[in-house]
């Protein structure tokens, strides 16, 4: 499970068995069709099935095989962008609702795990936000004032961090955060969904969406699912061509797992205030069948497709880890994932803007995929069942905030700037210059070609033009993929879609 750059999947992806699923081989009808088998799609499907709805779940890969399987499995309502920013954007009531919704999501995961007897190593733990310098210490005080303004009174300032090597400055302690084994949870949730009559079709890629009184999803095989309601929970909406992709930006994020002597690091969450920031948690030995604990450290985020040497991110993470955790031993795991950052910091969950009223999306996880995904299940279930939900407004995908206009402009100017790649030279002049196991761009007339050389020295060529909105893809030497620097579509070395919003493979060269 490791490529030539040393990237691998997290340990929790291995050794988890699923209830048997199958590919869609017929036309089916249902009350609700959910597209996306990550935590957002599966939670939504499970909760609707529990309400008595006939639900069909479609997944292009395997259940949890997308970004859910690449999470660091933090569960937190201490939101990354800070409560001073959230109060500025959404007011005190909006910031309070955001905090409460993520807290309720942690409780919902615990509730489902108990109700369905899912052994997923769930545990409520403390979280600590720590400062690295005096300026950050001042920001820490502003954060404390902000959480007090929204009524979160049990957040406290501690003079010392529980891990002395992290910082000598104060930290904020956030209670009732959490962590769990995401793939054990997903496996148990899948079984519970099927037991309630849910239908699951994996290796079933949705390629066409038709809205109307009855929504129709067509799979790559040509078979269809017709439903009264459609939910698209695919990390970024594959049923939307432009609108939502202007309101959020794709980022790659990196993680490593290091062995540490058992008991030397407390079982808690930690975050610093750097930019990009670092996030830390522990997977105790008894939860992974090992003699040492696993210290999971993430960070080093950058715009997708906009770093020529992403492998250096792992080295930077390891240097930081060894500085802050001198007791750390060997690196056992390295992996990366993709998050979508909304321009105004909160996810987009609700009715798809400009679409029929029975079409819903969940996107913009902003690094809180596990709680945002669970919020999506709770909120979308209420909307489909016709119940009011006080979170509807703050997560509304159609919302517009003038206060986030600057961020909106910055991200979309960044996208426009990528079009310069059409006129720049290629990285190589001839396919023979591409070494085995690597990919390079080559100019061919007025366009560019993506050239990949496999381990046997055979060169494979395809168009370098992303099939979403036409940007030029770049080679990712960590994941061995072609990544679009505009909206985050990713393709394998041969040009086949890995991640949307693109739904078509790269064209032949």
Domains of the chain: 11-71+183-246+345-410 (3.50.50.60), 124-179+249-342 (3.30.9.10), 423-499 (2.102.10.10)
State the pLDDT at residue 8.
64
Q: Round the CA-based radius of gyration of the chain to a whole number and report it.
A: 22
- pLDDT value for 2: 42
Q: How far apart are the C-alpha atoms of 205 and 326, rounded to whole Å? A: 46
**Count of other CB atoms within 10 angstroms of residue 401:** 17
Q: Is 9 exposed, middle or buried (0-12, 13-18, 19+ CB in 10 A)?
A: middle
- CA neighbor of 465 nearest in space, from 482, 440, 478: 482
DSSP per position, 215-279: EEEEETTS-EEEEEEEEE-SSS-TT-SSGGGGSEEEEEEEEEEEEE-TTSS-SSEEE--SSS--E
Give the pair of three-digit tokens for residue 332. Answer: 């056992």
Mean pLDDT by 10 residues, the chain (509 residues): 51 67 93 96 98 97 89 93 93 96 98 97 96 93 96 95 94 97 94 96 94 96 97 89 82 94 95 91 87 94 89 94 95 93 90 94 91 97 97 94 61 64 79 91 89 93 92 92 92 92 89
Integer Cα distance of 51 and 39 in angstroms: 18
Task: Note if the pTM is more than 0.85.
Answer: yes
pLDDT number for residue 233: 95
* Cα 495 from Cα 505, distance rounded (Å): 6
Residue-wise burial string across 327-356, b where 16 or more C-beta atoms lie within 10 A, e elsewhere: ebeebbbbbbbbbbbbbbbbbbbbbbbebe
Q: What is the largest CA-CA distance in the chain?
A: 64
Pairing outcome for strands 156-158 and 279-283 = unpaired
The bridge status of strand 171-179 relative to strand 74-75 is: antiparallel
CA–CA gap between residue 248 and residue 501 (Å, rounded): 12
Q: Is the peptide bond before 276 cis (omega within 30 degrees of 0)?
A: yes
Pairing of strands 481-483, 474-476: antiparallel
> What's the pLDDT score for residue 21?
77
Q: Is there a contact between 247 and 395 (Cβ–Cβ < 8 Å)?
A: no
Distance (Å, rounded) from C-alpha 328 to C-alpha 322? Answer: 6
Name the 3-class secondary structure at 338. Answer: strand
């Amino acid at each position: 499970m490791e490529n030539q750059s040393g990237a691998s999947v997290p340990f929790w992806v291995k050794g988890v068995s699923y209830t048997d699923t199958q590919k869609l081989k017929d036309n089916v009808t249902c009350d609700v069709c959910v597209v996306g088998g990550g935590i957002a799609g599966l939670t939504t499907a499970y909760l609707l099935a529990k309400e008595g709805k006939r639900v069909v779940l479609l997944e292009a890969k395997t259940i949890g095989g997308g970004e859910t399987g690449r999470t660091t499995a933090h569960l937190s309502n201490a939101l990354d962008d800070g409560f001073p920013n959230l109060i500025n954007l959404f007011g005190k009531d909006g910031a309070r609702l955001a905090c409460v919704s993520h807290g309720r999501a942690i409780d919902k995961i615990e509730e489902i795990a108990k109700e369905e007897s899912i052994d997923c190593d769930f545990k409520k733990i403390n979280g600590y936000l720590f400062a690295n310098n005096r300026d950050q210490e001042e920001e820490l005080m502003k954060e404390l004032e902000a959480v007090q303004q929204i009524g979160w009174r049990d957040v406290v300032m501690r003079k010392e961090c529980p891990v002395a090597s992290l910082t000598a400055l104060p930290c904020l302690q956030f209670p009732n955060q959490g962590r769990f084994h995401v793939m054990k949870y997903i496996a148990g949730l899948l079984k519970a969904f099927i037991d309630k009559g849910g239908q699951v079709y994996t290796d079933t890629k949705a390629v066409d969406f038709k809205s109307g009184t009855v929504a129709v999803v067509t799979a790559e095989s040509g078979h269809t699912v017709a439903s009264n309601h459609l939910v698209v929970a695919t990390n970024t909406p594959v049923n939307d061509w432009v609108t939502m992709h202007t309101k959020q930006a794709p980022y790659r994020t990196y993680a490593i797992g290091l062995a540490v002597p058992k008991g030397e690091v407390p079982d808690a969450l930690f975050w610093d205030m750097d930019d990009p920031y670092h996030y830390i948690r522990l997977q105790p030995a008894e939860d992974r069948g090992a003699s040492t604990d696993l210290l999971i450290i993430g960070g080093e985020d950058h715009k997708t497709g906009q770093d020529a040497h992403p492998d250096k991110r792992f080295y930077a993470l390891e240097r930081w880890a060894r500085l802050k955790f001198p007791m750390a031993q060997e690196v056992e795991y390295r992996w990366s994932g993709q998050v979508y950052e909304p321009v105004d910091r909160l996810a987009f969950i609700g009715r798809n803007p400009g679409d029929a009223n029975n079409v819903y999306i969940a996107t913009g996880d902003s690094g809180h995929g596990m709680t945002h995904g669970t919020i999506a299940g709770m909120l979308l279930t209420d909307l489909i069942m016709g119940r009011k939900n006080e979170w509807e407004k703050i997560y509304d995908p159609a919302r517009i905030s003038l206060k986030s206009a600057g961020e909106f402009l910055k991200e979309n100017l960044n996208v426009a700037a990528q079009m310069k790649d059409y006129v720049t030279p290629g990285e190589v002049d001839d396919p023979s210059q591409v070494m085995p196991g690597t990919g390079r761009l080559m100019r061919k007339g007025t366009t560019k070609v993506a050239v990949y050389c496999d381990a046997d020295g055979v060169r494979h060529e395809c168009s370098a033009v992303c099939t979403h909105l036409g940007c030029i893809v770049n080679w990712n030497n960590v994941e061995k993929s072609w990544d679009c620097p505009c909206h985050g579509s990713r393709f394998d070395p041969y040009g086949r879609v890995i991640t949307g919003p693109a739904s078509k493979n790269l064209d032949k060269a």
